[in-house]
């Protein structure tokens, strides 16, 4: 299985209303220390894919904003809010409340 498929397999397990960090996904995909690779893989996901790319955020509890995403950052926040995830006024997600714990963690 290639690295991207391993990443997508992990991300598909994140339930609605929960988030995971890039590093957490990398570790669960056995790609230790490759959080950036997770970001690259998720950037390539089609919006109509079954991979819930929007549920992956950075370790600070924030959406990783990028001008290359052409509005995808706002879409990510909107999709998370539709799932009931709340953001602080500073744009952070409370990881104690919303972080997904894989059975493999």
The percentage of residues in the chain with a pLDDT greater than 90, rounded to a whole number, is: 80
Q: Are 90 and 68 in contact (CB under 8 A)?
A: no
Residue 30 φ/ψ, nearest 5 degrees: 60, 40
Give me the count of residues in the chain.
105
For the entire predicted model, the pTM comes to 0.92
The pLDDT assigned to 79 comes to 95
Q: Is the pLDDT of residue 69 over 60?
A: no
CATH class, range 3-98: mainly alpha
pLDDT of 105 > 80? The answer is no
For the chain, what are the domain ranges?
Answer: 3-98
Distance of alpha carbon 38 from alpha carbon 35, whole angstroms:
5
């Amino acid at each position: 299985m290639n690295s991207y498929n391993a990443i997508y397999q992990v991300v598909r397990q994140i339930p609605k209303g929960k988030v995971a960090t890039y590093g957490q996904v990398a570790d669960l995909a056995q790609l230790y220390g490759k959080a950036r690779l997770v970001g690259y893989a998720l950037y390539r996901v089609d919006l109509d894919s079954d991979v819930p790319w929007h549920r992956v955020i950075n370790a600070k509890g924030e959406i990783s904003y990028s001008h290359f995403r052409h509005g995808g950052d706002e879409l990510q926040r909107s999709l998370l809010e539709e799932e009931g995830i709340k953001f602080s006024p500073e744009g952070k997600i409370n990881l104690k409340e919303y972080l997904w714990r894989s059975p493999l963690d």
